[in-house]
Amino acid sequence: MRILVTGGAGFIGSAVIRHLIENTSAEVANLDKLTYAGNLESLSLITNSPRYNFYQVDICDSNELDTVLAQFRPDKIMHLAAESHVDRSIEGPSDFISTNILGTYNLLEATRRFWNGLPLDAKKNFRFHHISTDEVYGDLEGTTDLFTETTPYSPSSPYSASKASSDHLVRAWQRTYGLPVLVTNCSNNYGPYHFPEKLIPHVILNALAGKALPVYGDGSQIRDWLYVDDHARALVEVVTKGIIGETYNIGGHNEKRNLEVVEAICELLDELAPIESKEKTTFSFKELITFVKDRPGHDRRYAIDASKIERDLGWKPQETFETGLRKTVTWYLENPEWWGRVLSGDYRLNRLGDVAL
């Protein structure tokens, strides 16, 4: 099995590649532009595998996509390359439109050209798996409602609108051209190797530095949290066993208010990395929590109904929020070199075209 992963140097993409190399016999190609969020050091555990290949390519470059597909000749494509940070999409939506919409279009067209030239058996076994987000659904008003695979789209931010657009393109390419596609929509991921701009690593690293822990609004926004290695397992199940044309929602069954998440991180740090205040009194990292102005269009609640993927493919998360968060905090405490190089920007030198690997 030959699997091409776009965005494989990103947070979820690198978890997928590590899982494929460590737990399957697949040959894997990582196609990544290496923007600020792409970090080859997240793949250090598997870089020397003879089954791992890397291509520094922008999915907006049609010619380069054609070249990579012709050289690697994948059986399956897992499309994770995307701009994904909501705050950045509000400040500057242009990159989100370019990568998430136009990039997906270019990849679909390159894939269609490649797929049309395959022998019949290879054509029949080929899959294009588009990885998306639950944010395309907007937010939930009720306290018990859940996103299902048939929930209407109602995106709130430039990021989620661009991902919704890419979802529609993928489904249209199946309906119009017969391309064998699968779509997954996942809840909030967390875990090791997460870029520090996202909530959980941001809170961990700010706390360790003694900085304020910013919480939007009153912190009552609810998210369903999914440990990234659980997500990686689910994605591989879908691309290998999923039914063409189907959508699968992937969630962690872990709804938490943002303030609960921040407080849980503080409690773990109080246990695993306690510090003593200058007055020699007990200090809690919760004292660093600071409430800040809410961001525009902030969705109040996301929650995934993941019963379909469990029923049809037998997947369910292995980690609870408590076990996954402990693993995450412990990883950041034990790997200061990785996140230190991210914070300093030195990780960006460890890439092709800048400094030799």
| Residue at 127 is within a domain | yes
Which residue range is the domain that position 17 belongs to?
Answer: 2-194+225-256+301-322
CA dist., res. 132 & res. 123, Å (int)? 24
CA dist., res. 299 & res. 135, Å (int)? 8
> Which residue in 110, 136, 93, 144 sits closest to 255, CA to CA?
144
| Residue at 234 is within a domain | yes
The confidence score (pLDDT) of residue 253 equals: 86
Dihedrals phi, psi of 159, to nearest 5 degrees: -60, -55
The confidence score (pLDDT) of residue 280 equals: 58
How many beta carbons lie within 10 A of that of residue 11, not counting itself? 24
Single-letter amino acid, residue 313: L
Tell me the CATH number at 173: 3.40.50.720
CA dist., res. 335 & res. 218, Å (int)? 31
User: What would the pLDDT profile of 293-350 be if each residue is shown by its tens digit?
Assistant: 987 878 788 899 999 999 999 999 999 999 999 999 999 999 999 999 999 999 998 5
Mean pLDDT of the chain: 94
- Percent of the chain at pLDDT > 90 equals 86
Coil, helix or strand at residue 122: helix
How many beta carbons lie within 10 A of that of residue 355, not counting itself? 10
Give the number of domains in the chain: 1
Low-confidence ranges of the chain (pLDDT < 70): 277-281, 350-357
Beta carbons of 220 and 259 less than 8 angstroms apart? yes
How many beta carbons lie within 10 A of that of residue 271, not counting itself? 10
Residues with a catalytic annotation lie at 134-135, 159
CA dist., res. 19 & res. 22, Å (int)? 5
| Residue at 293 is within a domain | no
